[in-house]
Chain A
Amino acid sequence: MASNKNKIVMMKGEKSFHYIALIIMTLFMLFCIVPLILMCVVSFSSENSLLHGYRFIPDEWSLDAYAFMWAKRATISRAYGLTILVTAVGTFLSLVMTSLFAYPLSRKDFKPRNTIAFILFFTMLFNGGMTASYIVWTRLFHIKDTLWAYLLPGSLMNGMNVMLVRNYFNANIPYSIVEAARIDGANDWTIYSKIMVPLSKPIMTTIGLFSALGYWNNWSAGLYYINNPKLYTIQVYLKKLMDSIQFLKTTDLQDEAVLLAQRNLPTESARMAVAIIALIPILLIYPFVQGELIKGMVVGGVKG
């Protein structure tokens, strides 16, 4: 009886809205989770069973792909290490750059803030394009075949992230705290490092995760600027592997692809296995930052 008393009474329309919302969300969840399951299943399938397409229940299970990974462990672990390094350094630099850019834009007493915000916004919409960027990065900054190629182009600072952090500073940190700190004798660096950044954990986690995902999944930088296989990150390695398989699958070499499968050399399952391995760290980190991430996304979007 007690439980009935506490039951929330819903109106008819409300009930149907709840059911429709539930169905839509379940569908979206399936759209996200099904490819992941398929990817996992394929990585454990034998190459022969994949000749006629991907299946959720393969004809034959196999660990060949992971055995292949193990055989290639030197290359893969180097790529993995590089990816971790690039992601860690890149995310840190990106957070520092983004918050340092956002802080003056949030200060009411910084007069050119609107002009700078306009320039930032303008470059979010219009930029020099791929060719011009490539020439600048390679000819002017000489980043080709260096780790800077992963760190600098594109990912280091994102205009959208700057806007999000600026809005967070404006909407969630009372300006009187900044004024109190100024009167207490703090300079801008102290205000930024001891007050603004520690108070912005949710938005920092959010853009940190976005940025980490960006660095982790960045294969294009490797494709454009890296020729040295020793500097391949896991995503670049995966991309190269996929390209090689695609190459073998071209018409002229179709027989060779079948031949490879017959020789039990994993191709399709291997690329799924690499993708699974590449995904593991993100899957491990996500549950820990989920709470802050949601907070950051909600509050960062509020206009200050």
Chain B
Amino acid sequence: MPEIKLVDVAMIYPFQKVSGIFNRKQQELILQQQKKMPYTSNEGVIALQHFNATISDGEFVAVLGPSGSGKSTLLRVIAGLERPVAGDLYFDDRDYKFVPAAERDCAMVFQNFSLYPNQTVYKNISFPLEVKHVPREEIQPEVRKIAELLNLDTKLDRMPQDLSGGEKQRVAIARALIKKPAVLLLDEPFSNLDPLMRARLRTQLKELHQVYKTTFIYVTHDQYDALSLADRIIILKDGILQMDDTTANVYNYPVNRFCAEFVGSPAMNFFEDIPVSKTGTITILGHNYQLSKAQMKKIRKDDTVDVGIRGYDIAISNNGYPAKVEYTEVIESDLVIHVIADEKKLTVVEKAADGDSLKYFRDQDIHLNIDTDRLHVFDQDGSRL
């Protein structure tokens, strides 16, 4: 199984052409929208730029980013559905830039399932082997085996339109895995499913990764999927790589403000334009934090900093910085308390227990304490100090 290496990859999608008599206004509107995208060139919208990454054999990598950040483009480049306008793509040091999709040892699971509607579940799963002209007697046990693994053994004679969303996606996963690909690419595979089905399939996917030991590249805008499944997370924004690190590091040491805000739920609390004293001290909610020498070196004189802290690292206690409760939410096992301190809205998270929703009430006076070791300090460009 290969190691995938992307070197300085760039991808540009040409601008929409305005032509014809009909729908001209609509076409012009789309063109205007495209030209307003964060990165454009004369040729079109830059979907991916200067992208460098190495994905090791058997890794489970999640590609995370908001809509339009270039995640799916990256996957399509690896799959061979798009050819990058610049840069190189290597599978085990072999240049794969011009290798057609059919010849790459990749399989892909699409967001909209993309099953063949005219074929039964069995035929859908066996399709990749059939096109490889694998003998029928070899295909059958393979299909049965993978169908059993994905609880599809009783559905093999059904047509895709007779299946539920979760079953359809399981068929798509089975079809992808049957050819034992070196790389399995998953393009937001669970975004069309209900939460219960997502949770079930998430577990199943993790198990499949352990069984097949194939490289999984999972594109999602759902950080929960990424954090719970992946060994490593690649974060993209506007086609530019923001961070490429382990799940724990992405959560605990975000390299810039975007990553800090994007990863974690509820989102990180931010204090903007905090002045730094001559001695390198900053004050957040009445708590002092001393910047290290290395951090001090990175900021210019009279610069302010942005400071972030997760809701989990703020505690409500009898003494501390005064704040008022706005409202509370119970999200799974967490109690999320929305508070206002110094006219600034913050979220504080506690472990939820029975009756917790009544523990705090609107306009209640509380006091906040923060764990200063868990502060994230960013300069004015948004980079971590």
Contact = CB atoms under 8 A, between A and B. Distances in A.
B107 A184 contact: yes
Contacts of A18: none
Interface in A178-203: 179-187, 190, 194-195, 198-199
Interface residues of B, number: 23
B128 interface: yes
Interface string A188-225: 00100011001100000000000000000000000000
Contact of B131 (A179, A185, A198, A199): A185
Interface stretch (B89-97, B109-117, B197-205): B109-117
Contact of A180 (B104, B108, B132): B108
B81 A177 contact: no
Given A185-B179, A186-B102, A180 B118 contact: no
Nearest to B118: A198
A187 B108 CA distance: 16
Contacts of B79: 183
A185 B81 contact: no
B127 interface: yes
Given A174-B114, A199-B117, A182 B107 contact: no
Contact of A185 (B110, B114, B117, B128): B128
Given A176-B112, A179-B81, A186 B118 contact: no
Contacts of A181: 116, 127, 131
A180 B114 contact: yes
A174 B110 CA distance: 12
Contacts of A176: 110, 112, 114
A131 to B, nearest CB: 34
A180 B115 CA distance: 8
B112 A184 contact: no
Contacts of A198: 118
Interface in B75-104: 79-81, 100-102, 104
Given A177-B114, A199-B118, A184 B128 contact: yes
B117 A187 contact: no
B106 A195 contact: no
A176 B110 CA distance: 8
B110 A184 contact: no
B81 A182 contact: yes
Contacts, number: 60
Contacts of B132: 185
Tell which of A181, A185, A195 has the most Cβ of chain B within 10 Å. Answer: A185
Nearest to B100: A182
Tell which of B79, B104, B114, B117 has the most Cβ of chain A within 10 Å. Answer: B114
A183 B131 contact: no
B281 to A, nearest CB: 55
Contact of B102 (A174, A177, A185): A185
Contact of A187 (B102, B128, B175): B102
Contact of A179 (B100, B114, B117, B118): B114
Nearest to A198: B118
A198 B120 CA distance: 13
B209 to A, nearest CB: 19
Contact of A195 (B108, B118, B128): B118
Interface string B257-299: 0000000000000000000000000000000000000000000
Contacts of A179: 81, 101, 108, 110, 114
Interface string A113-146: 0000000000000000000000000000000000
A182 B102 contact: yes
Contacts of A180: 108, 110, 114, 116, 175
Interface in B166-186: 175, 179
Contacts of A187: 102, 131
Given A176-B110, A179-B81, A184 B118 contact: no
Contact of A184 (B80, B117, B179): B179
Contacts of A195: 116, 118
Nearest to B172: A180
Contacts of B131: 181, 184-187, 190
A177 B116 CA distance: 7
A186 B127 CA distance: 9
Interface string B105-148: 01110101011111000000001100110000000000000000
Nearest to B102: A185
A181 B79 CA distance: 12
B186 to A, nearest CB: 12
A241 to B, nearest CB: 46
A187 to B, nearest CB: 7
Given A190-B131, A195-B116, A199-B117, A182 B110 contact: no
A198 B124 CA distance: 14
Contacts of B102: 182-187
B108 A183 contact: yes
B78 to A, nearest CB: 11
B132 to A, nearest CB: 6
A183 B81 contact: yes
Nearest to A196: B118
18 contacts: A176-B112, A176-B114, A177-B114, A179-B81, A179-B101, A179-B110, A180-B108, A181-B131, A182-B100, A182-B101, A183-B80, A183-B107, A185-B132, A185-B179, A186-B131, A190-B131, A195-B116, A199-B117
Interface of B: 79-81, 100-102, 104, 106-108, 110, 112, 114-118, 127-128, 131-132, 175, 179
Given A177-B116, A183-B104, A199-B118, 16 more contacts: A176-B114, A177-B115, A179-B110, A180-B108, A180-B110, A180-B114, A181-B116, A181-B127, A182-B101, A184-B102, A184-B127, A185-B128, A186-B102, A187-B131, A190-B131, A198-B118
- Ranked 4 nearest A-B pairs via Cβ: A180-B114, A184-B128, A198-B118, A176-B114
